[in-house]
Structure 1
């Protein structure tokens, strides 16, 4: 084995053994899957290892196999025990990633779509600090979009964005009545993030 191969293997091993988890936020199920998935993917992107999530090894590669096994170990350690029990049959990172998508993505899961839709359109701030509430609302909005993907058609995209802004404005208390009236009287609503910034400026 050449010196470069040894150095590469050593580097991979050092990186992978730096932590036995990819995130301290454990996968609990469908409710926190979108957030967990995003954190895990970001962790692997930062290590230039995101290919393991989507690529299947096509030939013998001992370095790939070692890295894949270590990432798989870290993924399993980033899940609650009852979820690990469902995944013991998988052998690679890609198999696990694809299987979790089937179990928890919510795609075509009408019960979950109904639950998220109900919460999204009926959400209320109820005295929660505004910044904290906006963060929660934004996460809910992202899950809603993952269940019902945003259309590539410009007109439909505009309608979906307006629905999000109106739902957020509607969840705020009467103290924001003037801001709400000003935004709704505009010819074009801002984005959800811009809406929060406008509110924060108190115009």
Structure 2
């Protein structure tokens, strides 16, 4: 059984604490006393999305729960729906607890961990100007690492083409997130003029 408690540290985000009967069935994801583990010391505050995403995603992969943020829920009639529902509730709670209250608050009513995950990714545009600028500078620094300056004009043209492909993919709506992740994550970004 579960009970919903107000989070005393923030007063905003509710917590779900499992009673011992459910805690024992989910022991691989819960601590000995049935409380949720701290999955990262990096709390999402709006300026640290890249670091937060990397730590949370690795944790969920290690615990076998990444499917909840990557795939849509199965139909309620599927035999795996009950297990997905448990995993979804656990991951939602873990995500909320890994965020600063001003970030998690608006996400509390979203029904799935995938929607929370997608919304956090796309809400970066809602940040204050200074935070958005800080995030942009971090992205530019990452770009400098992956696409260093060169005097080779063929390489410059290739890099420019890759940037345009990524810009195009980033401009697509959330329904294309899987395709975008697959293409960008492959490490071999196709040419805008040759491959697409």
TM-score w.r.t. the length of structure 2 is: 0.51
SS state at 2:45 partner? coil
Larger proportion of strand: 2
> What 5-or-longer segments of structure 2 have no aligned partner?
1-21, 148-153, 161-196
> What 5-or-longer segments of structure 1 have no aligned partner?
1-8, 121-138, 161-203
Shift of 1:157: 7.8
Q: How far apart in 2 are the matches of 1:116 and 1:80?
A: 17
Shift of 1:80: 0.6
Shift of 1:16: 2.0
Contact 2:92/2:113 (<8 A) preserved: yes
Shift of 1:89: 1.8
Shift of 1:94: 0.3
Contact 1:23/1:78 (<8 A) preserved: yes
Contact 1:26/1:36 (<8 A) preserved: yes
Q: How far apart in 1 are the matches of 2:92 and 2:155?
A: 42
Q: Does 1:25 align with 2:45?
A: no
Contact 2:91/2:113 (<8 A) preserved: yes
SS state at 1:16 partner? coil
Shift of 1:54: 1.5
Contact 1:52/1:94 (<8 A) preserved: yes
SS state at 2:39 partner? coil
Contact 1:25/1:36 (<8 A) preserved: yes
Q: How far apart in 2 are the matches of 1:91 and 1:100?
A: 14
TM-score w.r.t. the length of structure 1 is: 0.49
Contact 1:27/1:36 (<8 A) preserved: yes
Q: Aligned in 2, Cα 1:35/1:58: closer, same or farther, shift over 3 Å?
A: same
Instruction: Using CA pairs under 8 Å that are at least 6 residues apart, name the structure with larger relative contact order, 1 or 2.
Output: 1
- Give the number of equivalent residue pairs: 123
Match of 1:13 among 16, 21, 26: 26
Q: How far apart in 1 are the matches of 2:131 and 2:156?
A: 22
Q: How far apart in 2 are the matches of 1:78 and 1:52?
A: 16
Shift of 1:110: 9.3
